[in-house]
Amino acid sequence: MAKQAKTLTQIELRRVLDYTATRKHSTRNRALLMTTHLSGMRVGEVAALTVSDVLAMDGTVKEEIALSAQQTKGNKARTVLVPRKLRDELTCYLQQRYGIANLLAVTQTDTQRALFPTQKNPKRGFTANTLCQLFHKIYKDSQMYGATSHSGRRTFITKLADKGVGVRVLMALAGHKSIATTQRYIELNPTIMKAAVELI
């Protein structure tokens, strides 16, 4: 069985973000990382996002992202919930990208562009493969060994499991078809296991 992607602690994620802040495209790359860590989206889903997927007509970031069947791994449409922290991250990213505080103007002109453009292809953005490569480089260069483009998704699911969120809710949030798949994502936390036996 292949080794699973590393889950990151809050301190480890901070280290990656601190490294990212010193490199080119820092705002975009921070938003990419935080999108996987705060929503649990797959890298292919993140790569497929357009501005209109996340930006409402009133110029605010949506609370839900409706992914079409073409944007998902299982070719089945699903809804991704966007927590407040991620909405703030995406708002900051878009404001910096467009150089404006009021994003309402963007909804009139630029909504079909890729949410996360590449330097070479600002309209179409990343493919799932090129985004995987970018994540690999960011994690490797920040010395986060064992982390991959799947780490944000695994960390998202594990953190929620550690906080007592039930596996059926996790399954729905992750867009999995079975509970067994979701359970494989959850990294066992030794501290929580020790606390659990003390409940006896």
Question: Mean of the pLDDT values across residues 142-154?
Answer: 93
DSSP string, 150-164: THHHHHHHHHHHHTT
**Alpha-carbon torsion (23, 27, 30, 32), positive or negative:** negative
Task: Assess contact for 116 and 49: CB atoms under 8 A.
Answer: yes
Position with higher pLDDT, 167 vs 38: 38
Superfamily of domain 10-152: Intergrase catalytic core (1.10.443.10)
Query: pLDDT averaged over the chain?
Result: 87
Average pLDDT on 176-182 reads: 73
pLDDT at 32 over 70: yes
Among 42-56, 106-120, 177-191, name the one with the lowest average pLDDT.
177-191
Whole-prediction pTM value?
Answer: 0.86
Q: How confident is the model at residue 200 (pLDDT cuts 50, 70, 90)?
A: low
Higher pLDDT, 20 or 72: 20
pLDDT of residue 85: 96
Domain residue ranges in the chain: 10-152
Task: Tell me the CA distances in angstroms from 23 to 67, 83, 96, 142, one per residue in order.
Answer: 30, 26, 16, 11
Q: What is the pLDDT at residue 195?
A: 66
Confidence at 38, pLDDT banded by 50, 70, 90:
very high
155 touches 13 (CB < 8 A) = yes
> Quick one: average pLDDT of 163-187?
77
User: Would you say residue 138 has pLDDT above 80?
Assistant: yes
pLDDT at 196: 60
